[in-house]
Chain A
Amino acid sequence: GQQVMQIPQYQHVQEGEDFTTYCNSSTTLSNIQWYKQRPGGHPVFLIQLVKSGEVKKQKRLTFQFGEAKKNSSLHITATQTTDVGTYFCAVNAGNNRKLIWGLGTSLAVNP
């Protein structure tokens, strides 16, 4: 079945440093979604990318969808302690509207 690989699994940065997490698929994706889960919390929808080469920004977060629609990235500029959490990518599994989830990247930020 369809899978999505997400790297790195963990990232530890100093506050103010940048952070990037990547998701890759062997098949062309119709779209990709990104979620954030704070420690002790539940996943929260951040954004959905649909178009080839699409770039979307949310304040210090930049989301990209590859030209071939097989990969995506989430980049955080100048991390803050409020960015701590696990970032998941998720892709649609097909007509049944289920999502297939990446393993997540856990971000720790040293103040």
Chain B
Amino acid sequence: SAVISQKPSRDICQRGTSLTIQCQVDSQVTMMFWYRQQPGQSLTLIATANQGSEATYESGFVIDKFPISRPNLTFSTLTVSNMSPEDSSIYLCSVGLVADTQYFGPGTRLTVL
């Protein structure tokens, strides 16, 4: 397993601003993922954060809106840019471990006014 922390745990932001979410892992991991989860719904993968190269985005998500950094094997950031109320959600980072099982951070609860 892995210990994963996320910052901030929650935030309330104004429309048009940006928020950067940090994900820190206590060990080096190859695969890191960023998800969005609306209340009461399943997980939607935003992108795979690749160390040393650009993130791989899923359909419907673009780098300009959700820029991702992955400077090393223990850390990643996701920025939610030019926010609107539709971006209000829980954002989760996860790491892929043995046999592609995933361990999740505690999540960031974002409210955009």
Q: Which residues of A contact B (CB under 8 A)?
A: 31, 33, 41-45, 48, 50, 88, 90, 92, 96-99, 101-104, 106
Contact = CB atoms under 8 A, between A and B. Distances in A.
A41 B101 CA distance: 18
B80 to A, nearest CB: 18
B105 A42 contact: yes
B33 interface: yes
Interface in B33-53: 33, 40-43, 45, 48
A85 to B, nearest CB: 12
Interface of B: 31, 33, 40-43, 45, 48, 56, 92, 94, 96, 99-107
B99 A99 contact: no
A101 to B, nearest CB: 5
Nearest to B58: A98
Given A88-B43, A98-B48, A43 B104 contact: yes
Secondary structure call for the B interface: strand
Given A33-B101, A88-B43, 9 more contacts: A31-B100, A42-B104, A43-B43, A43-B104, A44-B104, A48-B101, A50-B99, A88-B42, A99-B100
Contacts, number: 46
A33 B101 CA distance: 7
A56 to B, nearest CB: 14
Given A42-B105, A42-B107, A97-B31, A92 B43 contact: no
A99 B104 CA distance: 13
Given A42-B105, A42-B107, A97 B40 contact: no
Contacts of A41: 106
Contacts of A92: 100
